[in-house]
């Protein structure tokens, strides 16, 4: 297997868009292609993440349409769906097709129009990422599952619920603060712990500002073999490791303060990259709810289990902390266009490792990580990137 590098990235503004999913992806892709110093015709295959194009726009089989839109209609174009992890799963496969020597240059990323359909319909349809047989109909959709996880966390680690709610609020405050510095973020407004704690309850103890929004958006990356990458750019960002894990329905999971799929996935990423959590300088992870960020920082090994909420309070995950988490603003502030999210996480890490992030730049970051969760804790896919 040969080394693979990211040679170009692109991303739309996140938020509400007038464009179709195909058009948004095309916009992000053309930016990534331009940055890569290639022409569309140099791309040999497309690997696309998309969650619910059928419900959103009456469109299945979206990948060939995206390829056609950027002028390369004949290349193999494949759609991946792993709920919110769709793009990361697509990127992991794109990585392999290049690493194996089959292709030299591929396009990957994701697109989604989740905001334009309106929150009630988006909530209802994206709940299909939960298990429809055993969970969704009983209200164990995503806010429900993470609300339960927060209660379990409080009880298991002896952290009073009110204390935990404040620490969770600090996740939201931090990510909004980062979002202010990101011109592509959906929310660019600081919030306070008090504001989070006075919000309406969504799924106890989660309140409105503990939850990420639905968003429209797309992000794209060009991957190239190491030799091609060195020809194309002075700043190749290498893919050092990839991992993917799954888990069965929630009722089969003993303790979902520990997300089994993540622990399976991250072992693979660390082993392949030959690094451990202490080596990671910066991370974009799946803060669909504030508690989800806390659980992820523990699952990835940055903090001991039960210490993640305290770490937030101590500022360890802030932009200038020991391991900056979600410098982009995360799903919480940057936005969460489901099928594009993993690609947008990778966009941020690539930009950070290239030192192109302006005010939100984490100085000297050399190794970065992305981690994306899909469904009812059912899919986690992650990727380690390095300069």
Q: Is there binding between residue 74 and a second copy (CB under 8 A)?
A: yes
Minimum distance between the CB of residue 346 and a second copy, rounded to whole angstroms? 18
Contact window for a second copy (CB under 8 A) among 78-86, 114-122, 194-202, 205-213: 78-86
Residues near a second copy (CB under 8 A), total: 60
Q: Which is nearer to a second copy, 264 or 310 (CB)?
A: 264
Q: Which is nearer to a second copy, 58 or 160 (CB)?
A: 58
Residue 376's CB is within 10 A of a number of other CB atoms, namely 26
Residue 364's CB is within 10 A of a number of other CB atoms, namely 9
Assess whether 288 carries a catalytic annotation: no
Q: Which is nearer to a second copy, 78 or 328 (CB)?
A: 78
Active-site hit among 84, 211, 283, 381: 84
End-to-end CA distance of the chain: 19
Q: Which is nearer to a second copy, 289 or 303 (CB)?
A: 289
Cis peptide before 205 (omega within 30 of 0): yes
Minimum distance between the CB of residue 25 and a second copy, rounded to whole angstroms? 13
Q: Is there binding between residue 2 and a second copy (CB under 8 A)?
A: no
Residue 216, token pair as written in the block: 């429209």
Q: Which is nearer to a second copy, 100 or 162 (CB)?
A: 100
Q: Is there binding between residue 30 and a second copy (CB under 8 A)?
A: no
Q: Is there binding between residue 89 and a second copy (CB under 8 A)?
A: yes
Minimum distance between the CB of residue 29 and a second copy, rounded to whole angstroms? 15
Question: Over 2-60, what HEC string results?
Answer: CCEEEEEEEECCCECCCCCHHHHHHHHHHHHHHHCCCCHHHCCCEEEECCCHHHHHCCC
- For residues 103 to 142, the per-residue mask of contacts with a second copy, x marking binding by CB under 8 A and - elsewhere, is ----------------------xx-xx-xxx--x------
Q: Which is nearer to a second copy, 79 or 176 (CB)?
A: 79
Q: Is there binding between residue 81 and a second copy (CB under 8 A)?
A: yes
Active-site hit among 176, 286, 288, 336: 336
Angle between helix axes 62-69 and 21-35 (nearest 10 degrees) is 50
User: Taking a C-beta distance cutoff of 8 angstroms, is the pair 185, 329 a contact?
Assistant: yes
Cα separation of 371 and 380, whole Å?
A: 7
Minimum distance between the CB of residue 178 and a second copy, rounded to whole angstroms? 28
Q: What are phi and psi of 196, to 5 degrees?
A: -60, -45
Q: Is there binding between residue 101 and a second copy (CB under 8 A)?
A: yes
Pick the closest to residue 341 from 361, 366, 371 (CA basis): 371
- 325 forms bridges with which residues in the sheet? 283
| Angstrom distances, CA of residue 380 to CA of 35, 77, 244, 262, 327 | 29, 23, 6, 5, 20
Torsion sign across C-alpha atoms 128, 134, 137, 139: negative
Contact window for a second copy (CB under 8 A) among 115-123, 259-267, 278-286, 314-322: 259-267
Count Cβ atoms within 10 A of the Cβ of residue 133 and give its class: 0-12 exposed, 13-18 middle, 19 or more buried: exposed
User: Taking a C-beta distance cutoff of 8 angstroms, is the pair 217, 11 a contact?
Assistant: yes
Distance of CA 280 to the CA centre of its chain: 16
**Residues of this chain, 324-383, that bind a second copy according to CB under 8 A:** 374-375, 378-379, 381
Q: Is there binding between residue 226 and a second copy (CB under 8 A)?
A: no
Minimum distance between the CB of residue 91 and a second copy, rounded to whole angstroms? 12
Assess whether 336 carries a catalytic annotation: yes
Minimum distance between the CB of residue 85 and a second copy, rounded to whole angstroms? 8
Per the document, the length of the chain is 387
Q: Is there binding between residue 306 and a second copy (CB under 8 A)?
A: no
Residues that are catalytic: 84, 336
- Residues in contact with a second copy by the rule CB under 8 A: 1, 20, 22, 51-52, 54-55, 57-61, 63-65, 67-68, 73-83, 89, 93, 96-97, 99-102, 125-126, 128-129, 131-133, 136, 244-249, 252, 260-261, 264-265, 374-375, 378-379, 381
């Amino acid at each position: 297997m040969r080394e693979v590098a990211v040679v170009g990235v692109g991303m739309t503004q996140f938020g509400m868009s007038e464009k179709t999913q195909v058009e948004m992806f095309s916009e992000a892709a053309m930016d990534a292609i331009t940055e890569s110093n290639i022409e569309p015709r140099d791309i040999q295959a497309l690997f696309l993440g998309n969650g619910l194009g059928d419900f959103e726009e009456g469109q299945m089989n979206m990948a060939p349409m995206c390829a056609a839109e950027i002028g390369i209609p004949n290349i193999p174009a494949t759609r991946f769906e792993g709920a919110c992890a769709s793009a990361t799963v697509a990127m992991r496969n794109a990585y392999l097709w290049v690493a194996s020597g089959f292709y030299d240059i591929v396009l990957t990323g994701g697109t989604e129009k989740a905001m334009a359909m309106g929150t009630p319909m988006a909530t209802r349809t994206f709940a299909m990422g939960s298990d429809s047989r055993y969970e969704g109909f009983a209200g164990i959709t995503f806010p429900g599952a993470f609300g339960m996880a927060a209660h379990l966390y409080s009880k298991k680690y002896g952290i009073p619920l009110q204390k935990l709610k404040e620490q969770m609020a600090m996740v939201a405050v931090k990510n909004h603060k980062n979002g202010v510095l990101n011109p592509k973020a959906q929310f660019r407004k600081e919030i306070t712990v008090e504001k989070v704690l006075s919000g309406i309850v969504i799924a106890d103890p989660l309140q409105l500002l503990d939850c990420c929004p639905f968003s429209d958006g797309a992000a794209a990356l060009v991957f190239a073999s190491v030799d091609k990458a060195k020809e194309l750019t002075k700043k190749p960002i290498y893919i050092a490791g990839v991992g993917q894990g799954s888990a069965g329905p929630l009722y089969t999971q003993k303790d979902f303060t520990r997300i089994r799929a993540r622990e399976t996935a991250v072992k693979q990423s660390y082993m392949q990259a030959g690094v451990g959590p202490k080596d990671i300088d910066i991370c974009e992870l799946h803060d669909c709810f504030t508690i989800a960020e806390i659980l992820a920082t523990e699952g990835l090994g940055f903090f001991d289990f039960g210490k993640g909420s305290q770490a937030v309070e101590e500022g360890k995950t802030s932009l200038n902390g020991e391991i900056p988490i979600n410098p982009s603003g995360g799903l919480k502030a940057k936005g969460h266009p489901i099928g594009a999210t993993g690609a947008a996480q990778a966009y941020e890490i690539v930009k950070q490792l290239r030192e192109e992030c302006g005010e939100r730049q984490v100085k000297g970051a050399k190794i970065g990580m992305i981690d994306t969760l899909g469904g009812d804790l059912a899919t986690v896919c992650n990727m380690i990137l390095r300069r």
